[in-house]
Chain A
Amino acid sequence: MPLPITLTLIGLSLALALLVGFKKNISQTREGKMLAFVALLVLPVVSVWGGFEAHLDRAESTQFCLSCHVMTQFGQSLHYDDKSYIPALHFENNFVPRDHACYTCHTDYAMFGAVKAKFNGLHHIFVQYFGTVPKPEDIKLYKPFPNETCLHCHLGARKFEEVNGHHKTPDMLDKVKSGKLSCISSGCHDTVHEIGDLKDAKFWHDPNGNELK
């Protein structure tokens, strides 16, 4: 459900609940009882469902990830003017959708992975408000970055399967596919956010102004 519709729905339930609350003798008529039933049970339940969905949807947006200050440098790292930085390469070329950039690479493509990713997110919120917030440069992944995420898009693609770099040894591609050799191991695609580089980096500026704030 698009956000304006969800908001309208919640607003409507709110108005009806108030109407039932302030109307006299509502329980005397059949219509009144039906109105009360819709306003105090049906609409609230539908509204919660819509609101919940809207919140989950929004939690996947790049803007949401960057609404916490500790994350902002990772956002800046999508703007390097250098395509050896994997996230910048993907963001600037729309290989990941810009408005869901972080989530596309940081969700879990296994079964129930999206739910796991949401729980991880709740943990970030917990750390943010009740724990000690680490310095951005001290943030580590909870688990090593899974090849599955890269393979989710690249597996089977001709370039991925054929490129010389993936055939340095005969079994290299098999090791990558089975997860024994990480895509981001050193010497391979090991240049990722590298927020330590931000200070002296050159940035690409989108002529269309489509940039993260």
Chain B
Amino acid sequence: MNIESKLRRASLIIALGLLLQFLSLLPLHPLAFIAFVGLGVPIMGVGVIFFLLSLVTHSESGGK
């Protein structure tokens, strides 16, 4: 996968996590917090990790 598509994958996952976080703050529901820490944050975290990984692999191959 080239760097562009890696970045795209990371941003879309991050966007999904952020969307869930946004939605979890709208209703005053007992499960809203669970949705925030159980779905929104981990999904966004995965996206951020993908982004960081893409930086590492990019700079490794960028040297050649």
Contact = CB atoms under 8 A, between A and B. Distances in A.
B30 interface: yes
A22 B32 CA distance: 29
Contacts of A155: none
A25 interface: yes
Contacts of B8: 21-22
Interface residues of A, number: 38
The size bracket of the interface on B is 20 to 34
Interface in A45-65: 45, 47-48, 51-52, 54-55, 58-59, 61, 63-64
Interface of A: 3, 6-7, 10-11, 13-14, 17-18, 20-22, 24-27, 36, 39-41, 44-45, 47-48, 51-52, 54-55, 58-59, 61, 63-64, 67-68, 125, 128-129
Interface of B: 3-4, 7-8, 10-12, 14-15, 17-19, 21-22, 24-25, 28-34, 36-37, 40-41, 44, 47-48, 51-52, 58
